[in-house]
């Protein structure tokens, strides 16, 4: 780090910004002249001190192998969700379909689905992806990320879960991945205020079956079965508190094999249900 950059970092730390984040901001914004860099840095630091997430200020963030554009239109992809992609890749490898059809429900920035398509391509597998979201803002961001990474075999569907999917896809999808909203209203009120900068509809779900925040998981697990091809799999992130409910529901729906796997933090949060 240059002397000027080190001074910038110290200035941000003195203003109250965490040292690691200060280094990230300097790396991102100190590009042009010293004067321009200083103005850009101060503007970024002010946003951060006002509570905005670092990822939105920087405007892009790594998720597995992709550098994704991120902003207020969609959830910031979480490191725990990276594990879900590994699980999905294992499921696809087990199914050994030559050109799998994947549906990413609630795609947000496109993190899960675009990672799958990109990583499958590097393994010589040409998958097609249908990225679904009920937020048109999120879909626009996912489309931007697909273009950024030149991923062409992707279509985008504005839909509440399966509602507007082409009926001809019933029974033909090899893999459904989803990270639906699963935070209950009451829990959300108690969470870190930084989360209020992300779209509420990406995090908060209504209650169902008397379970807080279960409504979207309920629809995704219940309806996935009929859209999957024989031996197709649903891989779905959920909260640890929903573990029993997701397992019971997947069994009740009729999935042939059902398991719940650990995420990176060792908590059971990834449902895998194979038809
Ligand atoms: C937890 S975020 C996940 C975003 C992204 N898949 C990820 O893992 O970073 C949930 C996503 O589901 C979308 N969503 C919420 N309700 C939906 C619905 N009824 N139908 C489709 N998508 C929905 C939200 O807009 C949001 O993009």
Q: Looking at residue 107, which CATH number applies to its domain?
A: 3.40.50.150
Examine residue 55 and state whether it is found in any structural domain, yes or no.
no
Q: How far is the CA of 31 from the centre of ligand 1 (A)?
A: 34
Position 157 confidence tier, pLDDT thresholds 50, 70, 90 = very high
Higher pLDDT, 58 or 95: 58
Are both 40 and 173 inside the same structural domain?
Answer: no
In the prediction, which pLDDT does 30 show?
81
Are both 33 and 138 inside the same structural domain?
Answer: no
Q: How far is the CA of 204 from the centre of ligand 1 (A)?
A: 10
| Total domain count, the chain | 2
Q: pTM score, two decimals?
A: 0.93
In the prediction, which pLDDT does 4 show?
67
Tell me the CA end-to-end span of the chain in Å, nearest whole number: 53
Which of 111-115, 166-170, 261-265 comes out lowest in average pLDDT? 261-265
* pLDDT digit string, tens, across residues 178-191: 999 999 999 998 88
Q: Where are the alpha helices (DSSP H) in 62-184?
A: 79-95, 111-122, 136-148
pLDDT at 32 over 70: no
Are both 44 and 65 inside the same structural domain?
Answer: no
Give the Cα separation of 181 and 205 in Å (integer): 5
In the prediction, which pLDDT does 266 show?
76
CB neighbour list of residue 99: distance below 8 Å, 6 or more residues apart: 125, 126, 127, 128
The residues lining ligand 1, judged by C-beta closer than 6 Å to any ligand atom, are: 74-75, 77, 81, 106-109, 111-112, 132-135, 138, 160-161, 179-181, 201-202, 216
Among 108, 110, 115, 177, name the best residue to mutate to test ligand 1's pocket (greatest count of ligand atoms within 8 A of Cβ): 108
Residue whose Cα lies nearest atom 7 of ligand 1: it is 77
Higher pLDDT, 212 or 267: 212
- Average of pLDDT values for 66-86? 96
Structure tokens that stand for 66 in this block: 């992709």
Are both 24 and 121 inside the same structural domain?
Answer: no
Segments forming the whole domain that contains residue 15: 3-50
Are both 77 and 11 inside the same structural domain?
Answer: no
């Amino acid at each position: 780090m240059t002397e000027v950059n080190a001074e910038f970092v110290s200035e941000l730390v003195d203003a109250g910004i965490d040292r690691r984040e200060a280094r990230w901001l300097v790396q991102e914004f100190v590009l042009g002249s010293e004067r321009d860099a200083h103005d850009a840095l101060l503007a970024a630091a002010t946003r951060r001190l006002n509570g905005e997430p670092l990822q939105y200020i920087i405007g892009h963030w790594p998720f597995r192998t992709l550098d994704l554009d991120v902003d207020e239109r969609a959830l910031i992809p979480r490191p725990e969700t990276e594990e879900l992609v590994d699980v999905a890749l294992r499921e696809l490898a087990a199914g050994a379909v030559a050109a799998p059809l994947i549906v990413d429900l609630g795609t947000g920035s496109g993190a899960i689905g675009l990672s799958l398509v990109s990583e499958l391509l590097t393994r010589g597998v040409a998958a097609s992806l249908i990225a679904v979201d009920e937020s048109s803002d999120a879909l626009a961001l996912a489309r931007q990320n697909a273009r950024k990474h030149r991923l062409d075999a992707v279509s985008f569907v504005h839909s509440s879960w399966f509602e507007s999917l082409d009926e001809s896809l019933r029974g033909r999808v090899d893999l459904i991945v989803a990270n639906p909203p699963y935070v209950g209203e009451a829990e959300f009120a108690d969470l870190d205020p930084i989360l209020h900068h992300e779209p509420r509809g990406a995090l908060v779900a209504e209650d169902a079956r008397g379970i807080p925040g279960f409504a979207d998981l309920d629809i995704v697990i219940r309806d996935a079965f009929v859209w999957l091809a024989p031996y197709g799999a649903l891989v779905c992130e959920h909260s640890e508190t929903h573990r029993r409910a997701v397992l019971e529901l997947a069994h009740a729906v009729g999935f042939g094999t059902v398991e719940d796997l650990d995420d990176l933090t060792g908590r059971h949060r990834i449902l895998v249900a194979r038809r």
